[in-house]
Structure 1
């Protein structure tokens, strides 16, 4: 316990923990280590049940891990989520969907593991369809091509495209495992919806302005709107990537001149960041109450909670910026690739859409004349 208390003090000082947080961590360490044989590890699932209410399970576990006294016996949160959400489905579909999600998570001999986001999106697409089918169908093998077609007829745009991808993945898995006799999605193809990428409307811009009220929200939107930065690049942006005196910023390894709007929002956010967490060891630009005590970036959920859950789609803003550039300077894919660090394929796609829009404007002008 003396060694753990000393290490908690050392770790807290290094990571900017407040004195009260260090004391609470020590109280938690005392509770889990008291009466234990020296060197005996503590199970991770045991910590929340034994520490005082004011102590942080995460901080106690962090100290124990540094001392090699932590036995992580917990189930991954995503696996718990799979069990819970699949268990909510109608009985005839639950087991097969759970097995499908686990293969997506872990991969197999012919399938690479998918991201957690992919699992969330795919399950969100198939869940309402399966619940509707459950009224007349009891198993995946009973789903017909007509059932799939009817269900998809009500969907449009990316919602339809994602549903098609999810259904194809589910039924390919079922066919491969012998759970169905015929794949009702075998001839199903996702439509090309590139033409749906259009400049943002005035209503969309106004909605974003009304939602972005905090310095952190305004910074994220400014980086996407001016520099077409992806969410991952924004989350991983560090203080070392900023050169404010020379107005330069490095996003995803690509050095750019810092625009006026991102410059102003950066100054506002950094001022708030300095006021709230003056001793944080975290070098990432975006931090919160949790990551301020660590060195890792904020999670993808951080961006979703502040923007996506309020109806702001960062990719929509980013795409609008690239498209605006293409409409302003001409549909030149090489220019877009250099300015926004895009792949040639993506740059060509934006250039094609921009050229189509420019051609439509010319045709409309000719018609008016």
Structure 2
């Protein structure tokens, strides 16, 4: 058949096709060249800068998702500030939200500028229907740019996809490393249920899930040496691992954790019977309450050198505030004019020592973070630019190796019980503690008075 006839036949076949054809990049031009028997076009290489070019508006369909390298952004070509932001509606909205958060949380002008710069880098190269992966933002930290606050703005406008691995899940996988596959699968299903909840169960606190994993992991690793599956565990096996622990709180806590594990496995039909159903935890033996020695107070007072340490020491040793109470204290809980303080929903008199420590700390806080909008009393370099409370670890490190805040609180409550004749009603009214706690301190004070212990000089706090 002549070449012209062959070419005409092909064109008739192409005209007869009425369906819509999708093309990859440059495929249409390549087919046109082939149809015209022209030379094969030279392949073009897509540059990294082209990946950062603006995409069409909403509704643009993506053939596949790809991770963007935001470090490729160039200041002169891609980072277009203020004068061109209004041309991209979702970027302008993100800038507005960033300004609102900056005002509410007390960001500095430099911090707001850096967040806006991150938003331009992340949003100018994508449409409003394409979320930003958190892992795409992480490399920006190498340029000292605020990744966490940028993610906060993106989450506020619904354009953040947090693809980071759950640190809680990484923690229990590290603890359970070495368990048999079946035991590992059963333990992870239980821990995920604790973390996420279920149709009839509310999710537990993340700290509780981490504590359950800490207690259960060594037991499960021990069983993995002799068993392949938790279906093989008998009540005697549970009793054996519990007897290794001292009688009292440790044994009771371990049994509570194992009972939670086996009840879940039995309810979800992963095991045939619950080996902990007839086991009793027993009564937990609490440690005896004794007054702290005088030299312990001298050490911690000598170590308190900053206004932050002074105010925490006064709150714990004078007002018996726990770590939880101190972390949750708000600025509005203090009435310096009327000399009152509210701790654990109890209104108390603000003594001179606590008032002086508080004024010194507030002055330091004003000088160090003048723009902070955090409503909590205590702030750190990590919480000054938002509204979070300081972590429990932050307070623990203040007097590390000397004395704990909870020890100061317990000693203050015990001293009050000793000075007021071991009256539990008085303790409940002064410190706002539960009846059982007040009775425990009253009994301890009564025992100390009966046995005539040397409690030191009253009022040493």
TM-score (norm 1): 0.82
Describe the SS at the equivalent of 1:108.
Answer: coil
What is the aligned partner in structure 2 of residue 12 from structure 1?
Answer: 102
Give the match for residue 366 of structure 1.
Answer: none
Change (3 A) 1:172 1:219: farther
The alpha-carbon distance between structure 1 residues 354 and 143, as it changes in their structure 2 partners (threshold 3 A), is: farther
Deviations 1:169-196 (A, max 9, x none): 2233333334253414732314332353
2:320 and 2:412 in contact (8 A); partners too: yes
Instruction: Verify the 8 A CA contact 1:31 1:51 in the aligned structure 2.
Output: no
Of 310, 327, 330, the match for 2:418: 327
Q: Is the 8 A contact 1:164 1:190 kept in 2?
A: no
Count of residues in correspondence between the two structures: 360
- CA 1:252/1:166 → structure 2, altered by over 3 Å: closer, same or farther? same
C-alpha distance 77-161 of structure 1, shift in aligned 2 (>3 A) = same
Query: Which shows bigger deviation, 264-273 or 335-344?
Result: 264-273
1:223 aligns with 2:319: no
Work out whether 1:254 is the aligned partner of 2:346: yes
Q: Deviations over 1:134-160 (max 9, x none)?
A: 333333334444544444445446444
Secondary structure at the residue paired with 1:94?
helix
1:112–1:41 distance in 2 versus 1, CA, 3 Å:
closer
What is the aligned partner in structure 2 of residue 340 from structure 1? 431
The structural deviation recorded for 1:286 is 0.6
2:404 and 2:191 map into 1 onto residues whose CA distance is 26
Does the alignment pair 1:28 with 2:118?
Answer: yes
Taking structure 2 as the reference length, what is the TM-score of the superposition? 0.67
| 1:59 aligned residue | 149
For residues 1-369 of structure 1, the aligned pairs below 5 Å read: 1-2=85-86, 3=92, 4-5=94-95, 7-9=97-99, 11-38=101-128, 40-49=130-139, 53-66=143-156, 68-74=157-163, 77=166, 80-81=169-170, 84-85=173-174, 88-91=177-180, 92-156=182-246, 158-178=249-269, 179=271, 181-184=273-276, 186-201=278-293, 205=297, 208=300, 214-304=306-396, 306=398, 312-361=403-452
Cα RMSD, aligned residues only: 3.3
C-alpha distance 58-192 of structure 1, shift in aligned 2 (>3 A): same
Partners of 1:146 and 1:194 lie apart in 2 by 27
Indicate the larger mover: 225-234 or 276-285.
225-234
Deviation at 1:228, TM superposition (A): 1.9
Larger Rg: 2
Is 2:195–2:203's contact at 8 Å kept on the other side of the alignment?
yes
Q: Shift in Å at residue 261 of structure 1?
A: 4.3
CA distance in 2, matches of 1:184, 1:33: 54
Counterparts in 2 of 1:137 and 1:214: CA distance versus 1, 3 Å: farther
Give how far 1:45 is off. Answer: 4.1
